[in-house]
């Protein structure tokens, strides 16, 4: 059998050395031979067993797996969603919308691997090619005809979907991306009858309008699907959608203009694949965002919003979004993350202090560093009156919710729906959403 992990090699197997961004399979060839590999496929070197030299071993793997699973690929339509922000929400909404209209659709992305329900968590948002084909095979064996695949930035850079034939590819936006070469390249993998769905309001839109693709654009400046008359609240959004000389009002059960764009990708994907437009609209009220993404709660006349945002740009985007439909002062609760540079953590803190009326610092995953030391190091150049520290995250959430006054907003950031945090190298069960619900239940 062909193996790409040396530890999995058994006597008689062939080991294929893949080069990644941070690691190189060529460094593990001798281990694979020691484990019994009878053949090595590599881009260079001479070894004591049969050796096949290929200039690009990843390209070889793509062709090998494409041929091996060709019959499975013929039985499933693959939808890829890439971009800066919104990939996960767009993919999850597409998964729901297709399934709610009897189009059996699997999902692979940041939430895990889903068939009818969640099957398992995944190590990577976009699995590497050998794992991806196994998941595709599993979906086909369970009679799934559609698969929506979240395409991460690093996954594309590492060519984890090389050779995958896409029926639909969608671009959310290019916000936060330092370069877009990998995103553009994947749009060359559309099937001859495939559809490219492009955000017509993105500054890099024209780079994705490849001549060989059937391109569809959406947004305020979309040529095919145009939105207007946007109305936003903290719990829902509505807009007018114009397409093919028709117009209809659509209301979605979650907040944020960004989620109108995420929803539109799911709408266009479903319509492209054959779901009746009226049926799409009828099932829309039952859609849900994954927990922890601009998730709003209400305490009397005060508001609590939970979001996974943790970078300066993400925090800015979330803050601007909630200010569109709230007027009161904003408290931001956040913790510095371990395994990030001091410069990054200070940038996050400066962003938070510049936006919020009040800042509460607490723990996030600090890993092997003391959470208290992490906060101390991050705040060393900041006057103490700019923030408050409550180390225990559960207590921090409880205290800030208890102190909320009418029209005030509490923005809890950094963890979304994560259920554990690593503090002082120990796994601690802490879920922001659970803590919010506990507090609100006490107040109701």
Instruction: Determine whether domain 295-443 maps to CATH 3.90.190.20.
Output: yes
pLDDT in tens, 102-124: 999 999 999 999 999 999 999 89
Just give the CATH number of 2-55.
3.40.1390.10
CA–CA distance, 152 with 154 (Å, rounded to integer): 6
Q: What is the pTM of this model?
A: 0.86
The larger pLDDT score, comparing residue 22 to residue 36, is at 36
278-317 confidence digits (pLDDT tens): 999 999 999 999 888 889 999 988 999 999 999 998 899 8
Of the given ranges (92-101, 181-190, 360-369), which has the lowest mean pLDDT? 360-369
What's the pLDDT band for 433 if we cut at 50, 70, 90?
A: very high
More confident call, 146 vs 23? 146
Please tell me the predicted confidence (pLDDT) of residue 444. 66
Q: Give yes or no for a contact between 95 and 114, defined as CB atoms under 8 angstroms apart.
A: yes
- Kindly state which CATH superfamily the domain 66-286 is placed in: Mur-like, catalytic domain (3.40.1190.10)
> 391 is written with which tokens?
């180390």
Query: Please, how many CA atoms are within 13 Å of residue 75, restricted to the half-sphere of its CB?
Result: 15
Range with the poorest average pLDDT among 12-16, 322-326, 408-412, 429-433: 322-326
Cα→Cα distances 311→120, 126, 344, 352, Å: 27, 21, 8, 10
Q: CA 258 to CA 256: how far, in whole Å?
A: 5
The edge-to-edge listing of strands for the beta sheet with 295-299 is: 295-299, 302-307, 409-413, 330-334, 358-361, 388-389
pLDDT band at 1 (very low <50, low <70, confident <90, very high): confident
Integer Cα distance of 219 and 196 in angstroms: 14
- Over 70: is that where the pLDDT of 262 sits? yes
| pLDDT tens per residue, range 132-161 | 999 999 999 999 999 999 999 999 999 999
Residue-range domain boundaries for the chain: 2-55, 66-286, 295-443
């Amino acid at each position: 059998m062909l193996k790409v992990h040396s530890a999995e090699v058994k006597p008689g197997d062939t080991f294929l050395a893949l080069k990644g961004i941070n690691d190189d399979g060529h460094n593990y060839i001798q281990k694979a031979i020691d484990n019994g590999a009878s053949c090595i496929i590599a881009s260079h070197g001479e070894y004591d067993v049969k050796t096949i030299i290929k200039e690009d071993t990843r390209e070889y793997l793509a062709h090998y797996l494409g041929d091996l699973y060709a019959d499975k690929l013929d039985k499933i339509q693959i939808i890829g969603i890439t971009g800066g922000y919104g990939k996960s929400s767009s993919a999850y909404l597409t998964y729901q919308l297709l399934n709610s209209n009897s189009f059996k659709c699997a999902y692979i992305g940041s939430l895990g691997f889903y068939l009818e329900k969640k099957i398992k968590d995944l190590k990577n948002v976009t699995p590497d090619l050998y794992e991806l084909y196994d998941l595709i095979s599993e979906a086909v064996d369970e009679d799934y005809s559609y698969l929506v695949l979240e395409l991460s930035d690093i996954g594309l850079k590492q060519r984890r979907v090389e050779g995958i034939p896409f029926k639909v590819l969608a671009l959310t936006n290019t916000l936060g991306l330092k370069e877009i070469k990998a995103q553009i390249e994947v749009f060359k993998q559309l099937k001859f009858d495939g559809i490219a769905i492009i955000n017509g309001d993105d500054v890099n839109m024209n780079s994705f309008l490849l001549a060989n693709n059937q391109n569809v654009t959406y947004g305020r400046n979309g040529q095919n699907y145009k939105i207007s008359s946007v109305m936003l609240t903290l719990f829902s959004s509505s807009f007018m959608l114009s397409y093919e000389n028709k117009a209809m009002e659509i209301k979605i059960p979650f907040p944020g203009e960004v989620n109108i764009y995420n929803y539109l990708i799911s709408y266009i994907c479903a319509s492209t694949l054959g779901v009746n437009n009226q049926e799409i609209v009828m099932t829309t009220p039952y859609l849900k965002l994954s927990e922890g993404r601009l998730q709003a709660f209400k305490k009397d006349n005060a508001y609590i919003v939970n979001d996974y945002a943790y970078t300066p740009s993400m925090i800015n985007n979330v803050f601007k979004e909630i200010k569109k439909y709230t007027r009161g002062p904003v408290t931001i609760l956040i913790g510095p993350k371990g395994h990030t540079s001091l410069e990054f953590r200070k940038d996050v803190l400066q962003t938070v202090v510049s936006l919020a009326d009040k800042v509460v610092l607490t723990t996030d995953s600090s890993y092997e560093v003391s959470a208290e030391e992490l906060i101390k190091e991050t705040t060393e150049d900041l006057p103490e009156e700019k923030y408050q520290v409550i180390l225990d995250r559960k207590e921090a959430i409880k205290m800030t919710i208890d102190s909320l006054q009418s029209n005030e907003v509490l923005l809890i950031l950094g963890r979304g729906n994560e259920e554990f945090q690593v503090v002082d190298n120990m796994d601690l069960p802490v879920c922001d959403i659970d803590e919010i619900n506990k507090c609100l239940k006490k107040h109701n």
